[in-house]
Amino acid sequence: MAQSSLSEIFESYTNTVGLFKDKGALSSDFSPSNIPHREKKIEELAYMLAPVLRNEKPSNIFIYGKTGTGKSLCIKKVTDSLEEAAEKSGRNVKIMYINCKMGKVVDTQYRLLVKILSMLGENVPFTGLPTNTLHKKLNEKLAERGGNIIMVLDEIDALLEKIGDDILYNITRISQDVPNTQITIVGISNKPTFVDSLDPRIRSSLSEEEMVFPPYNANEIKDILQARVETAFNENAVDYGAITKCSALAAQENGDARRALDLLRVAAELCEREKCKKVSERFVNSAQEKLDKDRLIEIIKAQPKQSKLVIISMLNLYKLEKKAVQTGDVYNLYEKLAHANGLKALTQRRVSDLISELDMLGVINASVVSKGRYGRTRKINIQLNKSLVSVLKNTLAGEFTEDFINF
Ligand SMILES: Nc1ncnc2c1ncn2[C@@H]1O[C@H](COP(=O)(O)OP(=O)(O)O)[C@@H](O)[C@H]1O
Ligand SMILES: [Mg+2]
């Protein structure tokens, strides 16, 4: 790019007022002072946890609800404020917030214990000690500390998928083993069915209190967005129609407030790039496309190689036939590509499962058509737009030779 045009870009930024007053207010870790439509939940949580201010142990709480329904936000709000109140009144209360899904932090029982110990000011090596030693250290540390601990295990389903539910049993037992310390667990899950999968003993101790966060409806999301628009944007920078559109789209997607905020943020970025002064509905539509595309690319990148070959086979066939492709044809091509690629071809049955998985992930749209006495075969509609196909080519090109990629 020529230097003069670069300086034009930068000048256009220095000489004008942008859309944003405080862009950080649209980021995922921003904590809004106003949390509409969750006043009741926040109050209930506050009452549930307040007994620590009288040195009593609250019930363990289990919170569940779909992504983006405000669970993490509300628990943080309540525990922050509780921590302050405890400090002011000199109560011995410690809040531990652990997001079980964040990176590698807690993918083993050992790591979780290391994390908990470090939050208690005890640094232990990341590997090498027997887990029992860590449990002992933890009990010692807790006995020394005393008082109440509120341990928030956010996205607890991720933790249990990786390390099983023994750990919860162990933690719920700590209160009995260390008499002067009381631990209250607040478990949070995005999967409503998660509690049903727990061992009944653990379930009953974990969910002494249960709280459900329902999805937001379009009007509720609109209120949330409007409050955020006031903090994040300069006056008149966002069209009312754009807010309505973001809310409607997010309401369709499980009432996810995070999605609404993402849509608004990306729409504003696209608007800024076009040097437009007002975020309108048009940018929200483009934002939706961009977010869907990014999501799909992430999903496809994360697939195992065999799945990627199935995707490539479908795309190649689709280009050739320009219409819905059939499972049998996909398999034949896949088999060839697998051999050419030095991989052992999976069975047709297994490939069929992979196709179902891709369907569930939203990469493709597979519909079953009956084929009489030859049994069932699936017609697969591939829903992809042109720009996505070229991005996919680039994504997959690094991993496979060019002759594979004929779409
Ligand atoms: N009632 C609300 N008011 C303001 N912002 C909200 C509200 N509910 C959710 N959000 C915002 O939406 C996003 C998702 O909320 P979060 O608490 O992370 O959802 P969950 O933990 O249920 O997946 C966050 O950026 C959060 O700030
Ligand atoms: Mg959360």
* pTM metric for this prediction: 0.84
Structurally, what CATH architecture does the domain formed by 39-212 represent?
A: 3-Layer(aba) Sandwich (3.40)
Q: Is residue 49 within 8 Å of 79, Cβ to Cβ?
A: yes
| C-alpha 393 – ligand 1 centre gap (Å) | 35
Tell how far the Cα of 68 is from the centroid of ligand 2, in angstroms. Answer: 7
Give the residue among 8, 405, 16, 15 at the shortest CA–CA distance from 237.
Answer: 16
* Contact of 259 with 223, CB cutoff 8 Å: no
Cβ atoms of 195 and 160 closer than 8 Å: no
The identity of residue 18, as a single letter, is G
Paired tokens of 100: 């079980």
Measure the CA–CA gap between 200 and 193, rounded to whole angstroms. 14
Model confidence at 52: pLDDT above 90: yes
Which CATH number describes the domain made up of 303-404?
Answer: 1.10.10.10
Q: What is the pLDDT of residue 100?
A: 87
pLDDT above 90 for 392: no
Summarised one tens digit per residue, pLDDT across range 232-278 is: 999 999 999 999 999 999 999 899 999 999 999 999 999 999 989 99
Q: Structural domain boundaries of the chain?
A: 18-26+216-298, 39-212, 303-404
**Looking at residue 118, what is its pLDDT?**
92
Rounded mean pLDDT, 83-99? 95
At the top level of CATH, the class of 18-26+216-298 is mainly alpha
User: How much distance in Å is there from the Cα of 73 to the middle of ligand 1?
Assistant: 5
Q: What is the mean pLDDT of the segment spanning 361-369?
A: 78
Q: Which two tokens stand for residue 114?
A: 């290391």
Locate the ligand 1 atom nearest the alpha carbon of residue 38 and give its number.
1
CB atoms within 10 A of CB 175: 18
Band the pLDDT of 41: cuts 50, 70, 90.
very high
> How do residues 191-241 score in pLDDT, each as one tens digit?
888 888 888 888 888 889 999 999 999 999 999 999 999 999 999 999 999
Structural element, H or E, at residue 63: strand 61-64
Q: Ligand 1 pocket by C-beta < 6 Å: which residues?
A: 28, 32, 35-38, 65, 67-73, 190, 213, 224, 257-258, 261
